[in-house]
Chains A and B, each alone.
Chain A
Amino acid sequence: MGQTINGVLRRHGLILAFLVFLGGVALNADAFLTPGNILDVLRQVSITGMMALGVTFVVLTGRLDLSVGSLLTLLTVIVVDQHNIAGPFPAIVMTLLVGVAVGAFNGLLVGFVGLNALIVTLAMLSFLQGLVLFYSGGSNVNVANAQETWFGVFGRGDFLGLPVPVILFLVGAVIAGLVLQFTTFGRRVYGVGGNETASIFSGIDARWTVFWTYVVSGFTTGVAAVIMGSRVMGAQNTIGQGYELTVLAGVILGGTSLLGGSGSIWRTVIGISMLGFIQNGLLLLGFPYYVQWLVTWAVIIIAVWIDLGAKRGRIFA
């Protein structure tokens, strides 16, 4: 009996707690579980969610990517600025390419040179923040012809009644999930994260695997920047500051292990959506904006602790 409860908790504890939370808020705020509000929440989480998809790949190998917040700032500035110079399509291509290039550079330093991922991406965070200021000269950029351009479709558009950013996020999630489940690359990611030495002896080139996870992370941040730029139709120099931690919080909340090898895309989608619904729910209940941070603190600790406790069969270490 204890085993069964343990098993249920282990597999679905997080979902159960989340459902209880949703129910609790819905009882006290009528607007909470309406289709319009749910779509609003999903629209809000689509940017962090998109970034979290790529970061999940990195975390699954047991590495970290703290540079995505600064990268989001840089790419949003680039996409908006280049939109005014070169037009929407070249701007988007350029943004994605820069994202991939930065990811590749991270991947080179972490995967091939073998430097510590936390420090490398921390250094990249600082470097990219400098690059943003260098590129923009410290001033904000805005899309000049916001009314005429089709660029707005990514952040503001609707398709079949669903917001386009939500569609992008969900399609991205499905693709990322399929890649992790059904491709050789996906299995290598889990292999390297689960036991790097064993994976190398099994003939996996861990260096390339790690390299590509950072490329994926750079790419998804590029897509997120396109959504961001399109939604805001402008970019400040600090627009993505702190996003790396929110993204990581979502990935961790979903139950993906920082040690690597365990976790999945759908867990990340759940984790990042939870953050969004917590924020939205608390606001609807009338709490001040920052109370969500206190709740997030508690939720992260409790969720990860329960997950860990269920895995080892006892609560305390």
Chain B
Amino acid sequence: MSLATESQTGSPLQSVLGWLLRNHIWVFLALTVVVFSLASPYFLTVNNIGNILTQGAFIGILAIGMTLVMIDGEIDLSVGAILALASALAIGLQDHMGVWPAVFLGLMSGAALGFVNGTLVALSGMHSFIVTLGGLIGIRGLVFVYSGENALMVQDFSYTEIPEIYIGPISLTAMLFLALALFFQWVLSSTRHGRETYAVGDNIEAAHDAGINVKRHKIINFTICGTLAAVCGILLSMRLGTAEPNAGKIWELWTIIAVVLGGTRLQGGFGSMWMTIGGVLTLAVLRNGLRLLNTPNYVELMVMGGVLVLALVLDKLLNHKGDT
């Protein structure tokens, strides 16, 4: 809520500084880009930037839904499992009904499971951490019940060519991520649903008293989150041509890391898609850059842990609000 009020006061320079202070992830992103550009000649090339965007887009699409849910003050741990189910259905069903009906059903499975998560949270009053932790375990079970223990292979390989559309170095997957992120930024900043999201996350009692249908609102956001997880799963199945039952395992954790790195807070009421894009890109740049430098993959895991704690400390120091 403070976004709108603070940026309208002061000189343009102050407002730019204010924006950077709130979106400090972009400063950090710029720094990492500079460091990796100096360290590796392959980093700052058009091709590699295209790669980073595509690699980041998968976690990115999950992170969009997660941001909405987290501004609401909730969390969704089941996105990785929903992703796996959608990709299994999209590949498994296309032999029976054709590609697009299968893709559509995959999307619907994500929407339905998101709806179930949201409904359970809204009706029971349980914390979404518990509901979606159950979902994470159970939906993974659904995937295994559907596909057995083996990966499903696509029969018609023209399926894997669907996302092979490029504008310059930017793949369709990356474009979809950016378009979705911009769309939901617009939803957050310029629609009633967006304003309600901040209101519900900021103070749920006050939001209820102000006449917001909090339950319906949360169900909508969980449904969006589930649907986007399915979008991610379908894109992944197109990219790989297979659907592995263990696909997307612990991706929910990477997603939370990306969103929190951006600066969106778990307590709710604060955050934006700009922050999330910044967090997603930072994560993608770190992973890509470290690999280009030929660092063993344990460095990546350790750096990620360190950066995450650093982001929390920075957030606390800069904004004096991260008190949970």
Contacts and interface: CB of A to CB of B under 8 A. Distances in A.
Contacts of B250: 241-242
Contacts of B279: none
Nearest to B142: A294
A78 to B, nearest CB: 15
B138 A297 contact: yes
Chain B interface bracket (under 10, 10 to 19, 20 to 34, 35 or more): 35 or more
B322 A125 contact: no
A130 B307 CA distance: 14
Given A114-B316, A115-B322, A127 B124 contact: no
B322 A109 contact: no
Contact of A123 (B126, B142, B296, B309): B309
A131 B138 contact: no
Nearest to B307: A123
A114 B131 contact: no
Interface in B131-166: 131, 133-142, 144-145
Given A134-B302, A297-B137, A125 B253 contact: yes
B221 to A, nearest CB: 16
B209 interface: no
B312 A119 contact: yes
Instruction: Classify the secondary structure of A's interface with B.
Output: helix
Contact of A248 (B133, B249, B302, B313): B133
B308 interface: yes
Contacts of B134: 249, 296-298, 300-301
A167 to B, nearest CB: 29
B124 A249 contact: no
Given A120-B309, A296-B134, A300-B134, A131 B298 contact: yes
30 contacts: A109-B309, A113-B313, A114-B316, A114-B323, A115-B316, A116-B260, A116-B266, A116-B324, A118-B256, A124-B305, A125-B305, A126-B308, A130-B300, A130-B304, A134-B302, A242-B249, A245-B133, A291-B141, A293-B144, A296-B137, A297-B139, A298-B138, A300-B133, A300-B134, A301-B120, A305-B124, A308-B124, A309-B124, A317-B123, A317-B125
Ranked 10 nearest A-B pairs via Cβ: A297-B138, A317-B125, A127-B305, A130-B301, A293-B141, A133-B298, A130-B302, A290-B144, A123-B308, A300-B134
